[in-house]
Amino acid sequence: MRKLLTVVIAIMLVFALSGCESNIENVVAANEEITGEEVEPEEKLSIITSLYPQYDFTRSIVGDKADVILILPPGVESHSFEPTPQDMVMLQNSDLFLYTGKEMEPWAYRLTGSINATIVDLSEGIELMDLDAHEDEDEHDDELMDPHIWTDPNLAIVMVDNILSSLKEIDEKNAEYYEENANTLKKALMDLDLEIRETLSKTTSKTILSGGHFAFGYFVERYGLEHMSPYEGFSPDAEPTPRRIAALIETIKETDARAIFYEELIDPKVSRVISEETGIEMLLLHGAHNVTKEEFEAGKSYITFMKENLERLKIGLGYDE
Q: What residue is closest to Zn ion based on CB?
A: 215
Residues 193-252 contacting Zn ion, CB under 5 A: 215
- State the DSSP H helix or E strand holding residue 97, giving kind and residue range, or none if neither: strand 96-99
User: What is the nearest approach in angstroms of Zn ion to the Cβ of residue 287?
Assistant: 6
Minimum CB–partner distance for residue 152 and Zn ion (Å): 14
- Smallest gap, in angstroms, from Cβ of residue 213 to Zn ion? 6
State which residue, 101 or 153, has the beta carbon closest to Zn ion.
101
How far apart, in whole angstroms, are the C-alpha atoms of residue 105 and residue 82? Answer: 9
Going through 157-309 in order, the beta strands assigned E by DSSP cover 207-209, 226-228, 259-262, 281-284
Count residues near Zn ion (CB under 5 A): 1
Q: Which is nearer to Zn ion, 215 or 248 (CB)?
A: 215
Whose Cβ is closer to Zn ion: residue 147's or residue 153's?
Answer: 147
* Gap between the Cα atoms of 28 and 36, Å rounded: 12
Smallest separation (angstroms) from Zn ion to the CB of 149: 11
**What is the SS3 assignment for 254-297?**
HCCCCEEEECCCCCCHHHHHHHHHHCCEEEECCCCCCCCHHHHH
**For residue 78, which amino acid is it?**
S
215/274 with CB nearer Zn ion = 215
Q: x-or-dash pattern for Zn ion, window 77-116, by CB under 5 A?
A: ----------------------------------------
Q: Is the dihedral of CA 28, 32, 38, 43 positive or negative?
A: positive
As measured in angstroms, the least distance from the Cβ of 182 to Zn ion is 25
For 84, 213, 242, the CA distances from 246, given in Å and listed in that order, are 40, 16, 6
For residues 67 and 221, which CB has a smaller minimum distance to Zn ion in the complex?
221
Residues making contact with Zn ion (CB under 5 A): 215
